[in-house]
Amino acid sequence: MTPATAPARLWIRNPQAAFTANQLDASGGVVVGGGKIEEVLTAGQGPAEPCSAIFDARNHVLLPGLVNTHHHFYQNLTRAWGPAANAPLFPWLQNLYPVWARLTPRDLELATTAALAELLLSGCTTAADHHYLFTAGLEDAIDIQVDAVRRLGMRATLTRGSMTLGSDDGGLPPQATVQAAEVVPADSERLVGSYHERGEDAVIQIALAPCSPFSVTKELMAESSALAERLDVRLHTHLAETLDEEDFCRETFGLRTVDYLESVGWLTDRTWLGHGIHFSDGEIARLGAAGTAVAHCPTSNMRLASGTARVLELEDAGVPVGLGVDGSASNDASNMILEARQALYLQRLRYGAHVPVERALGWATRGSAAVLGRTGLGQLAPGMQADLALFRLDSLRFSGSHDPVAALLLCGADRADRVMVGGQWRVVDGQIPDLDIAGLIAEHSAAARRLVNG
């Protein structure tokens, strides 16, 4: 993907408003150079040194690039599929597993491209994907995703997931969707060695991600923890998403979910958990003490009626919390700015209308970056990566609004006008340069029809 190259030193000047995810005042804009934010300016302040170009942001609200902490890119091929449209998690999965087992490499490439493009257009600059389907022909799934991420010019944490506990052995997935356990560590190590980048400007990172307590063995969970420590990479899994999962852990392992997590060496600050809904007060305290993070997925949790995460209590206990759109078959969209809106409303429903807009935006930016261990992302501050999202408020839905930052969520912003990743424009005037969206939609839609029709 050819970016619209930014000048060597660019002043994004005088935005209509700015949310920095910290206490800095960016009303005068930011100066970008060398892929980083060099200066954050207050109103009336100019750059310390001349800039080679200026972008007039008077009609834009400026944010750090949004960070998505939990997704399943491939699932956008089964959005709004009738047999799974009105089911909770376990029946939903049981309906969809046989369909997903038919995925081809080209299907995955199309789905990944579509997911990344949709995220990018929503102001998202970094995405974590949890891919755990490695059926015959899909052994190189993560390699396919790496190529797609590089073409779109985003950052990604791609997780080498796995399912090894099939229905014949007491798990939920059908046998056709599981791998032999001995395959997983070797491929995980290969992927880390081939693609994992370190440093604040990393584009691709790899994490290890056995899917869930009901789809992998306890032995693989423990082996993954040890491997992640040896390779110095992060760990990810689904946990405490539903009461059915909690019942499974008690019946299968004789443990509640957090006890199970600790028993396999995962109660650590290397770990982030998808969903994290059904925790007791004591379990929340233990997660906070360990620094274990949670990816809050409000739309998916509502769609599947899984429950409501106790986000404020998790944060107060020291748990890093970010947002994830989850798979596009349980959210049916890949839109991070709308996910922040949904998180705001769901947490207000739980805690009251005093939950501020800025806190929800913080979950989508600085909080999500912390969940992924990306300390150089998620804020507007000198030295941070120049990952930015700019939104216009000149459409009808914003007419009559007064606070530009609040309007992003309260009036339902759904598309960024400009998005920058590492100092390069990746969205310009609401479009991704050189990406044939119409062609992508046509081929992606055809693949989706073929997939569900067998």
- The model's pLDDT over 275-307, given as tens digits with 9 standing for 90+, comes to 999 999 999 999 999 999 999 999 999 999 999
Strand partners, 235: 208, 271
pLDDT of 319 above 60? yes
How far is CA 215 from each of CA 136, 165, 191, 284, 351, rounded to the nearest angstrom? Answer: 18, 5, 22, 24, 33
How far is CA 44 from each of CA 9, 14, 21, 386, rounded to the nearest angstrom? Answer: 19, 8, 21, 22
Q: Do domains 9-63+381-427 and 66-371 have the same CATH topology?
A: no
CATH architecture for segment(s) 9-63+381-427: Roll (2.30)
Q: Are 312 and 352 in contact (CB under 8 A)?
A: no
Q: Are 57 and 29 in contact (CB under 8 A)?
A: yes
Strand partners, 323: 296
253 vs 245: CA distance, rounded Å: 12
Residue type present at position 453: N
Confidence of residue 446 (pLDDT cuts 50, 70, 90): very high
Average pLDDT over residues 399-419: 98
Strand partners, 41: 29
Residue 454 has what pLDDT?
Answer: 82
Confidence of residue 416 (pLDDT cuts 50, 70, 90): very high
Average pLDDT over residues 89-104: 94
- The model's pLDDT over 196-246, given as tens digits with 9 standing for 90+, comes to 999 999 999 999 999 999 999 999 999 999 999 999 999 999 999 999 999
342 vs 12: CA distance, rounded Å: 29
pLDDT of 1 above 60? no
CATH architecture for segment(s) 66-371: Alpha-Beta Barrel (3.20)
146 vs 195: CA distance, rounded Å: 8
In the numeric block, which tokens belong to residue 70? Answer: 């939990």
- Furthest-apart CA atoms within the chain: distance in Å: 68
Percent of the chain scored above 70 by pLDDT?
98
Confidence of residue 3 (pLDDT cuts 50, 70, 90): low
Stronger pLDDT, 190 or 169, i.e. the higher one: 190
Residue 8 has what pLDDT?
Answer: 85
402 vs 388: CA distance, rounded Å: 23
DSSP letter for 167, please: G
Confidence of residue 2 (pLDDT cuts 50, 70, 90): low
The residue ranges of every structural domain in the chain are 9-63+381-427, 66-371
Strand partners, 66: 124
25 vs 449: CA distance, rounded Å: 49
Q: Are 111 and 129 in contact (CB under 8 A)?
A: no
197 vs 124: CA distance, rounded Å: 20
This prediction has a pTM of 0.97
pLDDT of 437 above 60? yes
Average pLDDT over residues 34-51: 97
11 vs 241: CA distance, rounded Å: 44
Residue 169 has what pLDDT?
Answer: 87
Strand partners, 67: 126
- The model's pLDDT over 100-151, given as tens digits with 9 standing for 90+, comes to 999 999 999 999 999 999 999 999 999 999 999 999 999 999 999 999 999 9
Count, residues in the chain: 454
Q: Picking from 180-184, 201-205, 336-340, 400-404, which range would have the lowest pLDDT averaged per residue? A: 180-184
- The model's pLDDT over 55-76, given as tens digits with 9 standing for 90+, comes to 999 999 999 999 999 999 999 9
Average pLDDT over residues 349-357: 98
In the numeric block, which tokens belong to residue 413? Answer: 């912003």
